[in-house]
Structure 1
Amino acid sequence: MERVLQSVCVACPHGCAAAKMLYHEKAEHQKTCAGSSTTVEQQAVLLQQGPPGDCSYELVLPKVLPSSRASVTVTITGGDVGKKKISGSGKGSMGSLVRMGPCGGIGGNVKETSMSDVDRIVQVVVRHGNAVDAISVMYERKGKEAWTDRWGGGGGNTCLFSLQQDEYLTSVRGHYGQFNGFVVVRSLTFVSNLRSYGPFGMEDGVPFALHAGAGGKIVGFHARSGQFLDAIGTYVKMDDY
């Protein structure tokens, strides 16, 4: 059997111009075959091209302890994955916005509110217990105030806070983790240029923070929700972006 195998001729699996070789010479040939390796120049081109801009990405951590903190920054050049700039021009424009998040689980339904003509956040209602059950927000648009729908379920205690005329949110932080078999937002704290509101819910799970950054103001929210608030994100208006 060994003599039979040694007499078998095979072609190069990479399609190079080399003549057929004996079977036992195949492994040695692949070490030097020009078609079996990617050159440094080819690798550089692949890195420059990067991933396609219309894909979505999911980071899966194999194990995250409640006491641990994870910070991940992903920058994709040439695409708009993970961060979206929304621009407008002319009278009544919504200005330049940066969409951040959402942070939390992937359950529930997507919740969005048009940011067109939004001047500021007036009030926020949070329903909470051992997790954040729901939120609803009052916006001011062209001098008129209006509430969003309730994003989430009807459980928990109700808390409301109001922002002063010259007050605006600078960050939203909290925790998300397992609750009743789902990954949901467990706690929320809203920080303004004057004070903090919260925490609402239970500070247990993986911490997160959505900071407006220098010159930024949080002017709106987007989320995922069902029975609870599954995830939350922000819209940040930049003074100079």
Structure 2
Amino acid sequence: MGWTWRQPSNGEQSSKSLRPYLPLIHAACISSSCTCVQIDLGDAEVVREVSGTYGMFEGATTLTSIRILTSSRTWGPWGIEDGTRFCITAPIGSSIVGFYGRSTSRLVAAIGVYLRQQL
């Protein structure tokens, strides 16, 4: 199982919150089928935490599940919650505004976050 995040094709950005990668589209692909989930945040909603698991898949260390916690709700988990747990929590007074990562040819091997201090 692999994970990808794609920004909207129109490259839309919100200067209010500097969310160049939101709304996020998550695609969990198994074989040739994919399920996409679009995450739309409310005007005052911010991402507080990203957590999940990682482990070996197809001979490489990859994300096996992911969950996104906002100020209002929890999205996910998506994937199979098996492997080593990880959790990235925004410090008090900050929020997660974007993601970056490292991948194999088709799987996410690592994920990181961009933080913004709230005013």
Query: Would you tell me which structure has more helix in proportion to its own residues?
Result: 1
Give distance in 1, aligned partners of 2:44 and 2:107.
Answer: 31
**More relative contact order, 1 or 2 (CA 8 Å, 6+ apart):** 2
Contact 2:52 2:81 in 1 (8 A): yes
Partner of 1:163: 41
Partner of 2:69: 191
Partner of 1:123: 23
Give distance in 2, aligned partners of 1:178 and 1:196.
Answer: 26
Partner of 2:113: 234
What residue ranges of structure 2 are gaps of 5+ in the alignment? 1-14
Give distance in 2, aligned partners of 1:179 and 1:156.
Answer: 17
Give distance in 2, aligned partners of 1:203 and 1:195.
Answer: 19
Give the secondary-structure state (helix, strand or coil) at the position aligned to 2:82.
Answer: coil
Partner of 1:212: 90
Partner of 2:6: none
Q: Is 1:222 aligned to 2:95, yes or no?
A: no
Per-residue deviation, residues 141-189 of structure 1 (Å, max 9, x unmatched) = xxxxxxxxxxxxx863222221111111000001010011111000010
Q: How does 1:19-168 map to 2 (within 5 A)?
A: 119-120=18-19, 122-129=22-29, 156-168=34-46
Tell me: CA distance 1:199–1:184, structure 2 relative to 1, closer, same or farther (3 Å).
same
Q: Which amino acid aligns with 1:177?
A: G
Query: Would you tell me which structure has more strand in proportion to its own residues?
Result: 2
What residue ranges of structure 1 are gaps of 5+ in the alignment? 1-116, 131-153
Give the secondary-structure state (helix, strand or coil) at the position aligned to 1:122.
Answer: coil
- How far has the Cα of 1:125 moved from its partner? 0.9
Per-residue deviation, residues 187-226 of structure 1 (Å, max 9, x unmatched) = 0100000000000111011000000021111011110123
Which structure's CA Rg is the greater one? 1
Give distance in 2, aligned partners of 1:204 and 1:159.
Answer: 21
Q: Which amino acid aligns with 2:35?
A: N
Contact 1:172 1:209 in 2 (8 A): yes
Give distance in 2, aligned partners of 1:201 and 1:159.
Answer: 12
Contact 1:170 1:192 in 2 (8 A): yes
Contact 1:191 1:197 in 2 (8 A): yes
Contact 1:122 1:164 in 2 (8 A): no
Query: Identity percentage over the alignment?
Result: 30
Contact 2:67 2:75 in 1 (8 A): yes
Give distance in 2, aligned partners of 1:156 and 1:181.
Answer: 21
Give distance in 2, aligned partners of 1:202 and 1:129.
Answer: 12
Q: How many residues align?
A: 101
Give the secondary-structure state (helix, strand or coil) at the position aligned to 1:235.
Answer: strand
TM-score (norm 1): 0.39
Q: Which amino acid aligns with 2:18?
A: D
CA RMSD of aligned residues (A): 2.1
